[in-house]
Structure 1
Amino acid sequence: MSLIPDENVRGGSLFKDISADDEDWQPTVIESLCMNCYKNGTTRLLLTKIPFFKEIIVSSFSCDHCSWANTEIQSAGRIQDQGICYTLQIKSKQDLNREVVKADSATTRIPELEFEIPPFTQKGSLSTIEGLLDRAVAGLEQEQPVRRATDPEVAEKIEEFIQKLKKLKDVEREFTLVIEDPSGNSFVENPQAPQKDEALTVTRFKRSIEQDKMLGIRADDDDSVQEEGAADDLEGMMGEVMVFKTNCPECNASTSTNMKLVQIPHFKEVVIMATSCDSCGHRTNEVKSGGGTEELGTRITLHITSSSDMTRDLLKSETCSVLIPELEFELGMAAVGGKFTTVEGMLTDIKELTVSKNPFMCGDSHSKEQMKKMTEFAEKLDKIIAGEMAVHLVLDDPVGNSYLQNVHVPDPDPQITMEKYTRTFEQNEELGLNDMKVEGYQEESLTELAFD
């Protein structure tokens, strides 16, 4: 018997959005062994989608013989290109209600208690901060009866630590929660959205060789440094459309990606990649710089005064942050990837990302206060697009690979301010530049070739 629902019956997609109106979409029920009493119990599997977390498999087990039950989630989506780390300063009990998606590959830490939950020691979960603390307490309490009988001293120390964990829920003093996930599939809610959450820091990082092995995307005996492919001759590729096979990021069906090198006037070459899936209709496009990392970062500020500014071409690299100071809004790097669009297109993407596709603005997760805040934010964006509201749009790119069209070229544009700045150590660390060796690289490579 197949455990996977028939795609033809489900309308061509294994994973569907949760909906109370879809009566045909039922979980798959199978008989499975209970690991508590070793009799047969029942497992229910539900394949569904959660925005910002791709596809997931929700499984629930229950045993009628011993009443043991267990629930967990597993990510069915692809491993992201970069890992992600959330650092949250918990200052009040309200912060404990933040929703959290914790993948099984994530490491959870509370530095103040020197407490850490290593990866793959817990199953993935969709919970809250309070739920994560309760789960940690339950895990420590599980073996306490045995410890009290075999090693009372250790049991007493663990009991003291359990009380410290329980006391965190009273939030008598501020503490830090860190969730680091090399797969990039974990998520922590920002209740201040679309405004920046001052208590939450989100950073993305390049996985190490050991992390790739841990996730199973690199062989255990493969210690080679894998570098992103680059064209040997960019000029020869100019104007040529290259096609290569790939898998759809939504349904994982086989599809094709078109890639073309384009020269942006008064800027540099960029690589445009577009993917269209015939199976599920998903379409995506991404832009990457054809050049290297600039010596200085770039901060471009556009003073939007009318609807005519909406037609300006805009290139946002994947390392670029977008800010609108008047709305106290900040969109972090890699949130929408690299894009070559217009100012109107960028604002529209921001509206869709923060309002239309926000999972906490629909169903049981949303509150009236949050919905009101989001609606007001969407209305302000509509006014900016219509030219009824003057604001500043800031593109802050530490790599210097973002661009905004100057309509007065070759003369300076009075509405655009461009600032060059030196990257901080933290920015270089996040971009992986501190450990990058560039001195003597060519000489060493030639020496190796000479002795091969």
Structure 2
Amino acid sequence: MSAIGQLEPVRGGPLFRPLSAEDEEQQPDEIESLCMSCYRNGVTRLLLTKIPFFKEIIVSSFSCSSCAWSNTEIQSVGRIQEQGVRYTLAVTVRQDMNREVVKTDCATARIPELDFEIPAFSQKGALTTIEGIIDRAVAGLEQDQPVRRATDKDVAGKIDEFIGKLKQLKEVDSSFTFIIDDPSGNSFVENPCAPQKDDALVVTRYRRTAQQDAMLGLEAEETDENPADSMEDLRNEVLQFNTNCPECNAPANTNMKLVQIPHFKEVIIMATNCEACGHRTNEVKSGGAIEPLGTRITLRVTDPSDMTRDVLKSETCSVEIPELEFELGMGALGGKFTTVEGLLKDIRDLIVKNPFTLGDSSTPRRVEKLQEFGRKVYQIMEGHMEAHFILDDPAGNSYLQNVYAPEEDPELKVEHYERTFAQNEDLGLNDMRTEGYESGLTSER
């Protein structure tokens, strides 16, 4: 490693240059070093390079002219990552065998169809291809075959048969799955479609186990975890799961995060972003139970700064603006975590740009009224018109930011009330029976 610090950037350029066959200035540095086979001097070649859409690595290659021993390996320049990584590639065409692979020495390579696995630390880290990894595995299996044939022909025959299956994989006559699992998070499989998504490649990041931390030489986590610490980890983690775009039905990812709203409660924010059509959605779910009392929040909008207040509107919340004689019923717009301005924009778009109210059957009077409604909403947003903004949530799971918290906000009024029978019916509470559940008995109706 001391020799690496002596390396100079090429012609004043960066020390780590992107890996490219067209870069003629990117040449390895040669360092005389000891051969660990014959203990004579050989040559180590170091190439400091950067893998596109990945990170910097050091490729080292040693060769000895005296005994012809050679060795090639890679080292990641970065530290061990916060999470492990698993690359799952569906190999379906011959070109997939040429994908570049960075495999560290602590990574495991698997091919489930053959029940084949290259364990961690059984091979040195390498910058190669999928075909190269299979070739290295074949070479390792063939190395001791002459001895096996002399001592145990049955075992040698089975290994020869398995080697044939590995070689056949390179022709890709049938599809198979190639998996790289690296707890250090420093392995990589090329995405030829980058920066676009590769449908054949799935990248999964995960939390390491205590055994994996110990394998990497990291301090093992305490076995008796504090529940408060686990909940804190959950708050800091963004969960991701596969779904379909509601607009074009293409595969997409939905991100989900648990968020603590100050002076309120925890909520779950879910956001979907479709790379195929660009459609984006966000939705908010309450992280807690239905409150014993309903909540009615009234904000008197008097200044444009009120537009920046955070708003959590649950699915059970209705919105009312008396000055506009407007009321948005429960369930409309769904759950949202936004600002007062953002919610007013959504209301304006829902009413003014609704194709069912602006179609061929619409009358000029209706169009004029809708346009007038849109102008008044815009005036409220610009601070040219005072109005009352009312959130009424029977479930008690909505929130409007108090900018003076924990002091009282003179423009904000929060009321709690007993729900009516009809509101309980809408929430499904009238038919809910919880008596005796703690003791394992349910009350009979």
| TM-score bin, normalised by smaller chain | 0.5 to 0.7
Are residue 409 (structure 1) and residue 368 (structure 2) matched? Answer: no
Change (3 A) 1:15 1:207: same
Give the 5 Å matches for 1:357-376: none
**Aligned-partner residue type, residue 211 of structure 2:** E
Return the alpha-carbon distance in structure 2 between the equivalents of residues 208 and 398 of structure 1: 30
**Aligned-partner residue type, residue 161 of structure 2:** E
Tell me the CA shift for residue 165 of structure 1: 0.5
- Aligned position for 1:442: none
Indicate if the aligned counterparts of 2:18 and 2:52 stay in contact, CA closer than 8 A. Answer: no
Return the alpha-carbon distance in structure 2 between the equivalents of residues 187 and 399 of structure 1: 38
Are residue 165 (structure 1) and residue 166 (structure 2) matched? Answer: yes
Tell me the CA shift for residue 9 of structure 1: 7.2
Are residue 5 (structure 1) and residue 11 (structure 2) matched? Answer: no
- Aligned position for 1:248: none
DSSP-derived class of the 1:120 partner = coil
- Aligned position for 1:131: 132
Tell me the CA shift for residue 59 of structure 1: 0.4
- Aligned position for 1:149: 150
Give the 5 Å matches for 1:82-161: 82-161=83-162
**Aligned-partner residue type, residue 3 of structure 2:** L
**Aligned-partner residue type, residue 135 of structure 1:** R
Indicate if the aligned counterparts of 2:8 and 2:15 stay in contact, CA closer than 8 A. Answer: no
Tell me the CA shift for residue 119 of structure 1: 0.8
Indicate if the aligned counterparts of 1:74 and 1:103 stay in contact, CA closer than 8 A. Answer: yes
Give the 5 Å matches for 1:8-47: 15-17=16-18, 27-47=28-48
Return the alpha-carbon distance in structure 2 between the equivalents of residues 217 and 322 of structure 1: 35
Give the 5 Å matches for 1:351-362: none
Tell me the CA shift for residue 199 of structure 1: 2.4
Give the 5 Å matches for 1:362-441: 391-394=278-281, 407-410=341-344, 412-413=346-347, 414=349
Indicate if the aligned counterparts of 1:130 and 1:169 stay in contact, CA closer than 8 A. Answer: yes
Indicate if the aligned counterparts of 2:83 and 2:185 stay in contact, CA closer than 8 A. Answer: yes
Return the alpha-carbon distance in structure 1 between the equivalents of residues 196 and 149 of structure 2: 49
Indicate if the aligned counterparts of 1:42 and 1:63 stay in contact, CA closer than 8 A. Answer: yes
Change (3 A) 1:4 1:198: closer
DSSP-derived class of the 2:44 partner = strand
Tell me the CA shift for residue 8 of structure 1: 8.2
**Aligned-partner residue type, residue 85 of structure 1:** R
Change (3 A) 1:87 1:404: farther
- Aligned position for 1:75: 76
Tell me the CA shift for residue 205 of structure 1: 0.8
DSSP-derived class of the 1:73 partner = strand
Return the alpha-carbon distance in structure 2 between the equivalents of residues 403 and 131 of structure 1: 50
DSSP-derived class of the 1:89 partner = strand
Tell me the CA shift for residue 76 of structure 1: 1.6
**Aligned-partner residue type, residue 189 of structure 2:** V
Are residue 50 (structure 1) and residue 74 (structure 2) matched? Answer: no
Change (3 A) 1:105 1:165: same
- How many correspondences in the alignment? 285
Indicate if the aligned counterparts of 2:240 and 2:253 stay in contact, CA closer than 8 A. Answer: no
Calculate the aligned-residue CA RMSD, in Å: 4.6
Deviates more, 1:1-10 or 1:66-75: 1-10
Tell me the CA shift for residue 30 of structure 1: 2.9
Return the alpha-carbon distance in structure 2 between the equivalents of residues 102 and 145 of structure 1: 29
Return the alpha-carbon distance in structure 2 between the equivalents of residues 231 and 109 of structure 1: 33
Tell me the CA shift for residue 156 of structure 1: 1.6
**Aligned-partner residue type, residue 409 of structure 1:** L
Could you tell me the TM-score, scaled by structure 2's length?
Answer: 0.52
DSSP-derived class of the 1:5 partner = helix
Identity fraction in percent: 54
Return the alpha-carbon distance in structure 2 between the equivalents of residues 12 and 211 of structure 1: 38
Change (3 A) 1:113 1:8: closer
DSSP-derived class of the 1:409 partner = helix
**Aligned-partner residue type, residue 99 of structure 2:** R
Return the alpha-carbon distance in structure 1 between the equivalents of residues 194 and 101 of structure 2: 15
Return the alpha-carbon distance in structure 2 between the equivalents of residues 22 and 227 of structure 1: 56
Structure with greater Cα Rg: 2
Tell me the CA shift for residue 141 of structure 1: 1.1
Deviates more, 1:200-209 or 1:61-70: 61-70
Return the alpha-carbon distance in structure 2 between the equivalents of residues 115 and 398 of structure 1: 43
- Aligned position for 1:269: none
Change (3 A) 1:144 1:100: same
Deviates more, 1:7-16 or 1:210-219: 7-16
Structure 1 stretches lacking a partner, 5+ long: 233-287, 294-316, 335-349, 355-376, 378-389, 417-452
Tell me the CA shift for residue 103 of structure 1: 1.8
Encode CA deviations 1:365-385: one digit per residue, 9 max, x unaligned: xxxxxxxxxxxx9xxxxxxxx
DSSP-derived class of the 2:65 partner = coil
Structure 2 stretches lacking a partner, 5+ long: 257-273, 288-311, 313-335, 354-445
Return the alpha-carbon distance in structure 2 between the equivalents of residues 36 and 157 of structure 1: 32
**Aligned-partner residue type, residue 160 of structure 2:** E
Encode CA deviations 1:104-154: one digit per residue, 9 max, x unaligned: 211111111111001111112222221221121111112222222333322
- Aligned position for 2:419: none
Change (3 A) 1:333 1:145: farther
DSSP-derived class of the 2:279 partner = strand
Change (3 A) 1:321 1:136: same
